[in-house]
């Protein structure tokens, strides 16, 4: 499918919305100069347009297969992955000590966005490896780092994350995989894991699995979980793949979408593993990888939204149907008001979700560079919003793309449906969007709302500054922010968590709506009479008002939900 990398959009967001200059002003990221960033975006865009986008349909039509215990990947994926690895795109943000570029997560997020739009199934592989690299950088022993990080950073080896078991999905503490100490300091890992993205492939010589397991003396629940690195092939004395480990791919899942991405059931039968971090402290180490992945998954949603939008726009500009009702119309369906509404919604929502993801990434970069508690709090607060709203946007925009195609959207040959099938799972994995929302109103408000209020103060300051140029846009943003402040105060005041959880999802969406209004307002301030100002007017006038409905839902409490008896739900 043709794809145009939105390099100019990223540069605009970096310069006028996200504030990348604040990141690059730190010593940690001083080498990420505007010239370097521009070159990275340009080269990544070419890779996505010329190498990855042509693999989108082949991966869907020719899924990965398991043949005699060997995973066979989709046509062209080996060459596509090789281009990713050789270009250094796997580990843009990784520590230069192990071969990474050491660039900001903000830049990595932009690259992941483009790669997701071009071919989400293949992009999942480097995303998993990126998360493993970060977990090992923070928690692994020096010996493990020296053996594994150079191979993972270069893309020579790939990484996975093994959490889920048949009886332990969101309740990770229910896992039963066992780890028994060996005499040589290693551990024997036994158990079965499901839903393992890119659990194996036929184009890298080794696959490294991070596996959650329980030691014999472990406590029940999450406090008794440890994390282990379990490679497909055990490295020899030279650090090269040696003998095969005692693990295998049992089967590949038959999925709604992401056919090119092999999602494996993994079996470990006394496989040799190495402890990452401390015993019984595996969740802390794994959360390093999971938080990385949550931003990455939200970014996947944004990328798919952009791909679906571009696909729908091309169709709207070509499809002739009905008579144009406007003077000097094109004669295609883009002349029709409802088609314009759909396209404007898709474009405006994608911009908002992209801005939120990049703002979250910039906060992570500032936390990395400064270790300041306020940046850490902001990054933590924005992460569940970036994940949930990014994936929600991907699903909503892909669904609208099908609608815009009309009957042809329901025909697989047009490719419109693939975007929706591929992106749908992103709202489920790395913590469902409901769990992200519960985290937002739970742990992320344990500070009494301090991080939330700091963000709301910043949005209101922007609205005040915008009154001179765009009073008609500034006022609705300011008012929506005040309403959201009151909703945040309501959440903080309610100690009964069911009252918070009952409105968690609409609260998250209301926050995302206001953050989106903020991003569009900033864009309008720097493009006063241009396309971005016109798009901001559309978003703030037509989409931002949804925040009020979300707030009403968010602050309704839980009584009406529990007034419904179980038998009231009977069909």
Catalytic residue, chosen from 137, 367, 430, 460, is 430
As to burial, measured by CB atoms within 10 angstroms (0-12 exposed, 13-18 middle, 19+ buried), residue 143 is exposed
Task: Find, among 68, 135, 69, the residue nearest to 267 by Cα.
Answer: 69
327 part of the active site: no
Rounded Cα gap, residues 560 and 564, in angstroms: 7
DSSP lists the bridge partners of residue 264 as: 196, 252
Q: List residues bridging with 472 in a β-sheet.
A: none
In angstroms, rounded to a whole number, what is the distance separating the alpha carbons of residues 226 and 516? 39
Q: Give per-residue burial for 195-216: e unless 16+ CB within 10 Å, then b.
A: bbbbbbbeebebbbbbbbbbbe
Q: Of 451, 187, 173, 438, nearest to 286 (Cα)? A: 173
CA distance 197 to 261: 7
- Provide DSSP, 219-251: PSSGGGEEEEEEESEEE-TTSSEEEEPSEEEEE
Nearest Cα residue to 378 out of 302, 457, 281: 457
Angle in degrees, 0-180, between the axes of helices 105-139 and 34-47, rounded to the nearest 10: 90
- For 549, residues 6+ apart whose C-beta sits below 8 A from its C-beta are 506
373-405 as b/e: b if 16+ CB within 10 A: eebbbbbbbbbbbbbbbbbbbbbbbbbbbbebb
Q: What are the catalytic residues?
A: 430
């Amino acid at each position: 499918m043709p794809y145009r990398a939105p390099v100019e959009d990223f540069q605009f967001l970096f310069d006028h919305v996200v504030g990348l200059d604040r990141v690059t002003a730190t010593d940690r990221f001083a080498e990420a100069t505007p010239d370097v960033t521009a070159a990275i975006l340009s080269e990544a865009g070419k890779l996505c347009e010329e190498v990855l986008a042509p693999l989108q349909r082949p991966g869907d039509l020719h899924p990965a297969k398991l043949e005699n215990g060997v995973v066979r990947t989709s046509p062209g994926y080996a060459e596509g992955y090789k281009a990713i690895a050789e270009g250094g795109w796997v580990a843009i943000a990784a520590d230069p000590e192990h071969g990474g570029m050491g660039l900001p997560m903000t830049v990595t997020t932009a690259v992941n966005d483009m790669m997701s739009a071009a071919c989400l199934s293949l992009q999942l592989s480097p995303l998993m490896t990126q998360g493993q690299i970060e977990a090992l950088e923070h928690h692994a022993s020096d010996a493990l780092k020296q053996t594994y990080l150079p191979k993972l950073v270069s893309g020579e080896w790939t990484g996975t994350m093994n959490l889920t078991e048949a009886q332990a999905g969101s309740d990770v503490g229910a896992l039963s995989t066992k780890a028994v100490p060996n005499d040589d300091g290693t551990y024997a890992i036994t158990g079965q894991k499901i839903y393992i993205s890119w659990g194996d492939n036929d184009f890298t010589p080794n696959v490294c699995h991070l596996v959650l397991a329980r030691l014999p003396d472990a406590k029940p629940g999450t406090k008794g979980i440890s994390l282990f690195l379990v490679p497909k092939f055990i490295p020899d004395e030279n650090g090269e793949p040696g003998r095969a480990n005692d693990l295998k791919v049992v089967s590949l899942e038959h999925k709604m979408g992401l056919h090119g991405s092999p999602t494996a059931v993994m079996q470990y039968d006394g496989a040799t593993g190495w402890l990452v971090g401390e015993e019984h402290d595996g969740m802390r180490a794994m959360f390093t990888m999971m938080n990385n992945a949550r931003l990455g998954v939200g970014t996947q949603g944004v990328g798919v939204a952009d791909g679906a939008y571009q696909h729908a726009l091309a169709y709207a500009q070509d499809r002739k149907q009905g008579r144009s009702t406007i003077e000097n119309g094109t004669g295609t369906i883009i002349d029709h008001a409802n088609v314009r509404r759909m396209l404007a919604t898709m474009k405006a929502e994608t911009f908002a979700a992209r801005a939120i993801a990049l703002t979250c990434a910039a906060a992570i970069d500032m936390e990395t560079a400064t270790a300041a508690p306020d940046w850490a709090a902001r990054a933590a607060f924005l992460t569940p919003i970036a994940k949930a709203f990014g994936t929600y946007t991907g699903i909503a925009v892909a669904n609208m793309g099908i609608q815009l195609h009309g009957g042809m959207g329901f025909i697989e040959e047009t490719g419109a449906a693939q975007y929706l099938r591929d992106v749908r799972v992103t709202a489920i994995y790395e913590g469902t969007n409901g769990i992200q929302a519960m985290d937002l109103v739970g742990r992320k408000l344990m500070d009494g709302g301090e991080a939330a209020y700091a963000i709301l103060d910043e949005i209101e300051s922007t609205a005040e500054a915008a009154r001179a140029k765009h009073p008609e846009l500034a006022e609705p943003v300011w008012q929506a922010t005040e309403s959201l402040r009151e909703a945040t105060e309501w959440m903080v005041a309610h100690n009964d968590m069911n009252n918070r959880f009952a409105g968690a999802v609409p609260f998250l969406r209301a926050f995302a709506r206001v953050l989106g209004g903020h991003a569009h307002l900033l864009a309008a301030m720097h493009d006063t009479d241009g396309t971005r100002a016109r798009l901001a007017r559309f978003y703030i006038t037509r989409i931002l008002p949804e925040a009020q409905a979300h707030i009403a839902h968010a602050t309704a409490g839980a009584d009406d939900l529990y007034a419904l008896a179980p038998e009231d739900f009977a069909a």
